[in-house]
Structure 1
Amino acid sequence: MKVFRFYAPGDVRLEDAPEPTAAAGEIKIRVRACSMCGTDVKISQAGHLRIRPPRVMGHEIAGEIVELGEGVEGWAVGDRVQVIAAIPCGECDYCTSGLMTICPNQVSMGYDFDGGFAPYMIVPPAVLKVDGLNRIPDGVGFAEASVAEPFACAINAQELIDVHDGDVVVVVGSGPIGCLHVRLARARGAKQVYLVELSRERLDLAAAVVQPDAAICSAETDPVEAVRALTDGRGVDVVITAAASGAAQEQALQMLAPRGRFSLFGGLPKDRPTITLDSNVVHYKELMLMGANGSSPAHNKQALALIADGSVPVSDLITHRLPLDQVAEGIDIVRQGTGIKVTIEP
């Protein structure tokens, strides 16, 4: 079979590999959809400290079971499943306290285990141990189910920052995760949701799909002033920065109303991880700043449920569905921002 593997920064290859078989405690699935995100671009260009090459990439995975290893119970050949990406250990103090997103022993599909840019892959026992293999609800397609993984990360962030009824929310960044944040905020009861994006082209593409209450191009107007104008000078209740931009994080503080909440969702480049924070703004306005790191197995289940009941549609966010031999082209689409969500269908 063909697989898409990472060897070194700038060295990614579509090549032949033997079809895997399920050992004891493992499940083999036929990959039906594996979506892409900005992390795939970063890995292909710069690698990752945790990846030991060669490694099959792809971590937003959905498929169907084709083989059960010895000792696996509760599953059957033909079951449609979604696989978590971030795998907590389930045993440390954080995990046993319900804080799986900050497990210090976390491993990941596509990093520590071969991922989903392949026709077949193995679900390791580590996933099954933490209930990280999820049944895809009836009526949800494989491509939609593969979006549950990034959607789960958005759920974690909005739970932490407590987006709720009546909130006015700004989402900075109009990529697929920004679009998911817009729709999730509405599903959680936000009164208004504004979308901010540097690129006019990307903003128009996303706004046409998710239809925010206001779309602000920060290359053309001061986003802080635009938000203040929209709120009669008050500011907003919540800002979520779904972009790897220090400038956006600094601007977010200026957009918030007193007692506002700020989700630092998008991480910054490792060589530029700091921002200038006016701590007096935080102090006098009594602002809350909250990080968000990935998702738990439970968040993945919530994501599938919200997709299934129509609370947060995702199918129209998938602008490109490509075969396995076009993974490299898909990575370029993500890098250039010419689509919203790219899904590989092996």
Structure 2
Amino acid sequence: MGTVVQFVGTRRVEVVETGEEPLPPASLRVRTMYSGISAGTELTAYRGTNPYLNRTWDEQQRLFVPGDATSPYPVVGWGYSEVGVVTEVSADVAGKPGMPAVDDVVWGIWGHRSEAVVPASKLDGHTIPPGLDPLAATFARVGAVAFNAVLAAEPHLGELVTVFGQGVIGLLATRLATLSGARVVACDTIPLRLATASAFGAVAAVDVRETSAAELARSLTDGRGADVAVELSGTHAALHEAIRSVTVGGRVVAAGFYQGDAMGLRLGEEFHHNRVELVSSQIGGPPPRLAGRWDQDRMNRTFLALAADGAIDPVALVSHRVRVPDGVAAAYQLLDERPGEALQVVLDYTES
């Protein structure tokens, strides 16, 4: 028997048993080792604020439209940061170039499941790099989210970048922007995150409750302000401060998953007077000007290569490894109610 994590209501999570799926053609069976919980997007589903719970995304129109009136619950296997061992490969894809073999460790997206049958096309080339800790491979997706935001920011050597929100993705963005040659001012309210940002290369770590990031950015640049800001907290007040922090004609990359109305965002102030460029970054696609060269798979692979080379250490962000099934409900409660006590929470299936 396997297990899967599901949301059965607002702030209600259960781990339920599942039967073994048959292996159809063009598929692989994977036994999960680790699965990372997203403290951003995934918590919106846990809290019941995610738009997919009460509206429908119309792919053709690219619009959210009124959804089905029936309850969206249970929401099954939401996770998107998995790593596991291939245990079975369908005969029609076994041995094909790039295709994982039995006993290979692979990364991908199959949700918080102890075992999954995954289309072979989704795991083509997804064997983890040699020497990489499998735990680091759970960061492939969140690493790509951070990578995409930095690509959109386009920091140049010696420029000042303010990064708002130093959760896991914000910390990875801080490190990636630093590797790009920028000087990063990391902004948050949680001491653990700010201390980690300094360890990841930030030249300043700002508690925005005590210090104005916009004023600090100007003090570090002879009054100009930051060249670019990346907003990853998903709060509108932080987006407003990110806009305040940049110079005239500066760029702000909005990469957080914003919920509800935009309270605290005042577009008639610095945004209007400094003619700030505001761009959206979402993992569904790279910046349009880079779409010919970059895609999600390249971002995933590049991030994991940087981790394998030691340029970035995502495992350092793992604050909790939680056994499945016993600690799962408490893990979500921790991230929801006491975010200052955790960075990356990983579900550990290795002894389930």
Q: Which residue of 1 aligns with 2:185?
A: 194
Q: Tell me, what secondary structure is at the counterpart of 2:304?
A: helix
Q: Tell me, what secondary structure is at the counterpart of 1:134?
A: coil
Q: Is the 8 A contact 1:321 1:342 kept in 2?
A: yes
Q: How many residues align structurally? A: 310
Task: Give the distance between the partners of 2:73 and 2:122, measured in 1 at CA.
Answer: 19
Q: Which of 340, 344, 349 matches 1:341?
A: 344
Q: Tell me, what secondary structure is at the counterpart of 1:233?
A: coil
Q: Which residue of 2 aligns with 1:329?
A: 330
Structure 1 vs Structure 2 CA RMSD: 2.4
Q: Tell me, what secondary structure is at the counterpart of 1:135?
A: coil
Q: Which residue of 1 aligns with 2:42?
A: 40
Deviation at 1:269, TM superposition (A): 0.5
Is there any run of 5+ residues in structure 2 with no aligned partner, and where? 57-71, 285-295
Q: Is the 8 A contact 2:178 2:202 kept in 1?
A: no
Q: Which residue of 1 aligns with 2:277?
A: 288
Q: Which residue of 1 aligns with 2:206?
A: 216
Deviation at 1:207, TM superposition (A): 3.7
**Cα deviation per residue 1:116-175 (whole Å; 9 max; x = unaligned)?**
x232112135625xx5x5120011111100111101011111112212312211111111
Q: Which residue of 1 aligns with 2:64?
A: none
Deviation at 1:44, TM superposition (A): 2.0
Deviation at 1:8, TM superposition (A): 3.1
Task: Give the distance between the partners of 2:244 and 2:81, measured in 1 at CA.
Answer: 34
Q: Which residue of 1 aligns with 2:117?
A: 122
Q: 1:55 aligned to 2:76?
A: yes
Q: Which residue of 1 aligns with 2:306?
A: 306
**Cα deviation per residue 1:37-59 (whole Å; 9 max; x = unaligned)?**
12222222216437773512321
Alpha carbons of structure 1 residues 229 and 181: separation in structure 2 relative to 1, 3 Å: same
Alpha carbons of structure 1 residues 18 and 172: separation in structure 2 relative to 1, 3 Å: same
Alpha carbons of structure 1 residues 193 and 233: separation in structure 2 relative to 1, 3 Å: same
Task: Give the distance between the partners of 1:64 and 1:286, measured in 2 at CA.
Answer: 50
**TM-score normalized by structure 2?**
0.80
Deviation at 1:257, TM superposition (A): 1.6
Q: Which of 216, 225, 231 matches 2:221?
A: 231
Q: 1:136 aligned to 2:128?
A: yes
Residue type matched to 2:79 in 1?
G
Residue type matched to 2:213 in 1?
P
Task: Give the distance between the partners of 2:21 and 2:256, measured in 1 at CA.
Answer: 35
Q: Which residue of 2 aligns with 1:21?
A: 22
Task: Give the distance between the partners of 1:177 and 1:310, measured in 2 at CA.
Answer: 18
Q: Which residue of 2 aligns with 1:97?
A: none
| Percent identical residues | 27
Q: Which residue of 2 aligns with 1:277?
A: 267
Deviation at 1:24, TM superposition (A): 1.4
**Cα deviation per residue 1:211-269 (whole Å; 9 max; x = unaligned)?**
52111111122232222223332101111111011111111111112332211011210
Q: Which residue of 2 aligns with 1:76?
A: 101
Q: Which residue of 2 aligns with 1:178?
A: 170
Task: Give the distance between the partners of 2:297 and 2:192, measured in 1 at CA.
Answer: 31
Alpha carbons of structure 1 residues 53 and 297: separation in structure 2 relative to 1, 3 Å: farther
Alpha carbons of structure 1 residues 203 and 145: separation in structure 2 relative to 1, 3 Å: closer
Q: Tell me, what secondary structure is at the counterpart of 1:136?
A: coil
Q: Is the 8 A contact 2:86 2:106 kept in 1?
A: yes
Task: Give the distance between the partners of 2:42 and 2:75, measured in 1 at CA.
Answer: 15
Q: Is the 8 A contact 1:4 1:13 kept in 2?
A: yes
Q: Which residue of 1 aligns with 2:159?
A: 167
Task: Give the distance between the partners of 1:211 and 1:158, measured in 2 at CA.
Answer: 15
Task: Give the distance between the partners of 1:204 and 1:267, measured in 2 at CA.
Answer: 21
Q: Is the 8 A contact 1:2 1:14 kept in 2?
A: yes
Deviation at 1:284, TM superposition (A): 5.9
Alpha carbons of structure 1 residues 211 and 300: separation in structure 2 relative to 1, 3 Å: closer
Q: Tell me, what secondary structure is at the counterpart of 2:342?
A: coil
Deviation at 1:186, TM superposition (A): 0.9
Question: Comparing both chains, which one has the higher relative contact order based on Cα–Cα distances under 8 Å and sequence gaps of 6 or more?
Answer: 1
